[in-house]
A and B are shown apart, each in its own frame.
Chain A
Amino acid sequence: MHPFLLASANDAATAIAAHAADPDLAYIAGGTDLIGLMKDRAALPKRLLDINTLPDMARIEALPDGGLRIGALARMSDVAAHPDVRRRFPVIAEALLFAASGQLRNMASMGGNIMQRTRCAYFRDEDDLPCNKRRPGSGCSALHGLNRNHAIFGWSEACVATNPSDVAVALAALDATVAVRGLAGERTIPFTGFYRLPGETPERDNVLGRGDLIVSIEVPAGAEGRASHYLKIRDRQSYEFAVVSAAAAVAVDGRRIRSARLALGGVAHKPWRLTAAEVALRSASLGDIEALKSALATSFTDARPLAHNAFKVELAQRVALRALQAAGARA
């Protein structure tokens, strides 16, 4: 790794001020993504600010209304093992458990998880191949290169990368929010608006700016939380990023869907909510497979597969269907 300075944060306000004033400073928590990026020279911060020392940011709180507040410094493994997370929102626990390995889950923070950068091999290549996310203006090697693992929704000529987080898919489906503290105070960002599509500026993964510090993630109470499921399809059975994944949560009257929430991973620059399908699924019977399939298909009319990932259009619909059925079985 390149040489850098290291400091540890004593309080949030000072950390935020340092981050806002210094474009070459990066926060570090678990480090499991940032250190990998630095080893691959895809991130070259001159100064690291260790935020693990900030107080009260690792708590996992079951809120009285049935919701959940997860501190940004809570570790993935602690969140996944928390009894209230498992009972109230199994989709969150499952998304975390299907990610990384036991060792990495003990290290990785929740704030860092949702900030992790794409696994596009061109972005992470040690030889610094053309990549607009890594070096704006240098081109996209994946657009006409090996793009099996890339997006089928929302991509631009500048970038076809996907977001690698599993738990972000679950959080997007549940309409979670991100509490962020910055120079101007604290604000709440809906999860569905946290990430950006690449457009002409793929170097920006999300809407955060200099000085912004993720404080916590809040999951609202909802009838759908309990009946939820995360299904992840990988090239190997464990310890691998998703080819395609789906988070599903449903509320039912008998076998009829009252409300469904669905998001896909591995298909876009951000967790991809199936908004049209959610509307079309209302009042459908969980037992009517053809009706479920037709409803899901309404969210795929704007799919734009690349040369090597046309299979994802069919696969994603099957994964969404299975996730929905498994969630329904818990209702």
Chain B
Amino acid sequence: MPMNQGASTRPIRVLVAKPGLDGHDRGALIVAQGLRDAGMEVVYTGLRQTPEQIVAAAIQEDVDCIGLSSLSGAHMALFPAVMEALGKEGATDILVIGGGVIPADDARALQELGIAAVFTPGSTIAQMADYIRLHVRGHVSSAPFTPPEQIDHVGLAVTSIDQARALYTDFLGYSLVGFEDLPEQKIRVAFVETGATRLELIEPTHDDSSVARFIDKRGQGLHHIAYRVDDVAAWLMRAREAGLRLIDEQPRKGAHGTQVAFVHPQSTNGVLLEFCQVESIDQQ
């Protein structure tokens, strides 16, 4: 992944732990696997760990982050006990996050006790991985990175692909490929194959699509520039660190099996910016 390429730092190490007697470890196992797939080294403690055992394991494994999971309602007793044990061992620089069935007011109380963040049902692996990358000690913001490979495509908003196509096919002589309906975004797209960088023609299929509103406000024309990257999640994190205004908090599905995410034109000199990753997450 680009954020760590060439960095001399080792991968982030995470201890996923199940304090108490709770046997529900579906979430803990998924998070452990997901963080591994996101490039981190993950140790899973297994069930029924005391707070003292968890802290001892964290120190022995020299982790950067502890992820605590509890679905039994014992979090208000056990998570603070982990923080206390960390304090006793002088290991408070380890980032501690939690997850499970945790009501919102409990989550706020835990954050006051030093649990950095609480991820409840519906959270994604990408959100957790981003959070950890951003908040562990010596996090990667200063690490070297590779710029996007190239401009993947330039998006052009048109009122009708059928009306616009003549310019690109009959006049310029390119071919039009990859027609696709994206009903969720209420648009239809097609690509003009020009060589390395393509043009994406975007046609609204409904009056209330954001592209229809774009055309109403600004007329047809340049809609966005998409940069081809090999890890959208990592770039989103980098954008967040840089203080850019994100439209997507996490990667989502784009046309033709891509993973994409958009950054708001307000923070990108007026032109909507897209990160576009060609292979899907599970192939990484």
On whether the two chains bind one another, the answer is: no
